Structure 1
């Protein structure tokens, strides 16, 4: 099948490179499977490049996208229902800064007849051989994995439409996770330079309409200019002025803060741009920018060494699926390193974590302020849970990358266009303020902190008791 023909079937230039790989073979299903079975997709793409010339008209692309969207979203909803308990069960006693309650409970569904205790006693090879690795612990596909691209929660789309008259809605796909599993919106903003001001956002979303009013007189001119650039839209693969865009109207693009809302996150999703072929590309969650002044690695797998590198890379590569050729067509924005990039980084490095009044200056609980359960959870964190080996205080990150080798637990499987084979090295994300950054792991596969504790209990083989798991989650709320 030619790349041109595939493009007509799957809509996106990004999908041209690789969708044909998944169409020709029947994917294995979860359960006991044959060892050494060939993968259902080729290991190489036909090309590293996205075809630049697309002769389909916008009217045809739009028509196909609108027609395919219901089936695409039905597929993703069915996948989520199969994997997770999606009910809205808030823990009202634990809230984010501005009052949104945290979701409670393990949401990943167990294989029929299994318990978490049974799974924890099994070796990785046994879990793999019996097909008992919970589906919700497999990598989570993008809602339209065959193409990918930025997808924004509806609450952000509506607020940007209200403030700026700009449309971030795609006609071919929509965000898949329910709002109650996402960070509060708009998030609070805390500055390292002015902790006395508390939440400087005052409950507003920072955009090109509000940034000057909110921050003039608080920031210096360089920082204010950096913030201006962070809320300025630039062309992106799906949001641009060309006929093969994915918005109804031609678009000026997206801004950094369309994903990193208020310097935090709204959980917008995308695919990594640095992997080929398409089935091996990973869904990525938008990480918070809080605390970047202490971080030394950026990007879930890219290991960029400075926030300046990260800022420049996002504009020049990640926005266009890692293909600078297609970026030339759609409107690549070349930032000037000594001025614009430095100004943007200077503002980002002011973004602080929310206050944690129960922690001392070393990142340990103050006994007089903490509950018995929190103190017990801290002991698990630094002891049997082995959490602190990668998440030492006060940042609760070691600024390294680690390969958990989760592929030990399951046979490779193709799920909704995503080849679940291995994750590779992943950045250790900070845990400060972690209750405000759901969902978890680099690709959103863990909806709650309870899920995260169960996941690492299996991956690390720590065999925690139910009480230890509960105490550990309560401790994480205090960070």
Structure 2
């Protein structure tokens, strides 16, 4: 295991402008290099030249793992109408079926190396560095509205648009459910937020929204020579990832794990329904949305490194006003309407189909889903360790060392069809993939019909 880790260390040091000789002499460190030894133009040319190779490597990994074709459901859509991608996309080993695999023991799957590749942790497209990467549709709209360019010269986002949430997503407010989608079908930015929300929000909430839409320096988007944008950048905003208070599936790496290859890729979670949540961050277990908001800009923006944050221009929020205002707006973000659910979060039998009702029975019975995902919001506000490492031997995958994930927070399932891909790192592309994953992890041995019914139920949450 030491040789791959040393190799990753040397590659990472080289990409930050240190020679291989210098990297070989370096001991493992929790800190990023502060003083860059290479001119920006040299870094730009070198990384641009490497980009096609990195993207091809990630593309090959994704195609080996998944069926990434555009196979949309005909009768199910997200809140504003984008079709849901359906079907199991994770590929199985040759000669294997899901029924056969679910009948095997954990040890049999491990010793025969049968854990599906799409169930392994998903690496960042450039895992030895990481950092925020945005889908192309978001980059284009922000550039159009603000003239701010979120393009990275060294890497692109890796998942195709049809597997991502709709853009822009609607905004539903707990305080004004009568208004429906208050975004009016627009991407809310610093350029239009006032005209959209003046008269709907109070002054504190309006100021909180302004701060959530204001770009501040971040690790890859800043004014220093080790940025990853061609021109000096004002930075990123909270809502560049949490688009319209939801998500665009932008990705980066967790800031609280070292060394680099053990860091987890992060799929941006939705902010819908934070008013009912008691844990924030997929693993950090932050106890309030205020803690999460402050942590993001002070630490997560800079890979958890306060030294590099100082260099690049960390924005220190004032807790009593700014953080409070930002949190107050976030707590207004509501789930999308679920017309088939009653006030207790269960299906109304008069509105639901037979398949949906059967799926509800599986959810609360044989599938064991409700042990963690309890109604009405389908979360228990706890963290759980799925211990998926019992199914495979640790290995290095495109710079990500696949080992134990540790405890992961229970995300709410209300409105889940609007939030692909799934799991904390986005390794599961569809709800069908998610059902197959938990069928193995929990050992529930669901039938084909039970799986289909379970997905039909989750579409209605």
Task: Indicate whether the TM-score tops 0.5.
Answer: yes
Kindly report which structure 2 residues correspond to 1:30-69, keeping only aligned pairs within 5 A, or say none.
Answer: 46-69=28-51
Query: Would the aligned equivalents of 2:373 and 2:379 in 1 still touch at CA under 8 Å?
Result: yes
1:82 to 45, 64, 72: 64
**Who is 1:217 aligned against?**
199
**Who is 1:150 aligned against?**
132
2:414 to 427, 432, 436: 432
Distance in 1 of aligned mates of 2:426 and 2:92? 18
Query: Would the aligned equivalents of 2:17 and 2:37 in 1 still touch at CA under 8 Å?
Result: no
Distance in 2 of aligned mates of 1:476 and 1:332? 40
**Who is 1:322 aligned against?**
304
2:320 to 338, 363, 383: 338
Distance in 2 of aligned mates of 1:62 and 1:389? 50
1:92 is paired with a residue whose SS is strand
Equivalent pairs counted in the alignment come to: 455
2:362 is paired with a residue whose SS is helix
**Who is 1:461 aligned against?**
443
Residues 47-56 or 455-464, more deviating: 47-56
1:191 is paired with a residue whose SS is coil
Distance in 1 of aligned mates of 2:142 and 2:425? 25
**Who is 2:96 aligned against?**
114
Shift of the alpha carbon at 1:20?
7.3
**Who is 1:405 aligned against?**
387
Q: CA 1:360–1:117 in 2, change beyond 3 Å: closer, same or farther?
A: same
1:10 to 7, 11, 15: 15
Kindly report which structure 2 residues correspond to 1:46-195, keeping only aligned pairs within 5 A, or say none.
Answer: 46-195=28-177
Runs of 4+ aligned residues of structure 1 deviating over 4 Å after TM superposition are: 1-8
Distance in 2 of aligned mates of 1:308 and 1:429? 18
Distance in 2 of aligned mates of 1:275 and 1:67? 29
Kindly report which structure 2 residues correspond to 1:345-360, keeping only aligned pairs within 5 A, or say none.
Answer: 345-360=327-342
Shift of the alpha carbon at 1:263?
0.1
Q: CA 1:261–1:375 in 2, change beyond 3 Å: closer, same or farther?
A: same
Shift of the alpha carbon at 1:10?
2.2
Q: CA 1:249–1:212 in 2, change beyond 3 Å: closer, same or farther?
A: same
Distance in 1 of aligned mates of 2:216 and 2:311? 13
CA RMSD of aligned residues (A): 1.9
Matched, 1:367 2:372: no
Query: Would the aligned equivalents of 2:164 and 2:249 in 1 still touch at CA under 8 Å?
Result: yes
1:419 is paired with a residue whose SS is strand
Shift of the alpha carbon at 1:97?
1.0
Shift of the alpha carbon at 1:6?
5.1
Query: Would the aligned equivalents of 2:205 and 2:329 in 1 still touch at CA under 8 Å?
Result: yes
Instruction: Note the residue ranges of structure 1 that are not aligned, 5 or more in a row.
Output: 22-43
Shift of the alpha carbon at 1:9?
2.5
Shift of the alpha carbon at 1:5?
6.9
2:362 to 380, 386, 389: 380
Distance in 2 of aligned mates of 1:294 and 1:390? 15
1:270 is paired with a residue whose SS is strand
**Who is 2:452 aligned against?**
470
Shift of the alpha carbon at 1:11?
3.7
Shift of the alpha carbon at 1:444?
0.6
2:401 is paired with a residue whose SS is strand
Q: CA 1:56–1:405 in 2, change beyond 3 Å: closer, same or farther?
A: same
Query: Would the aligned equivalents of 2:219 and 2:312 in 1 still touch at CA under 8 Å?
Result: yes
**Who is 2:222 aligned against?**
240
Shift of the alpha carbon at 1:92?
2.4
Distance in 1 of aligned mates of 2:15 and 2:317? 32
Distance in 2 of aligned mates of 1:185 and 1:272? 24
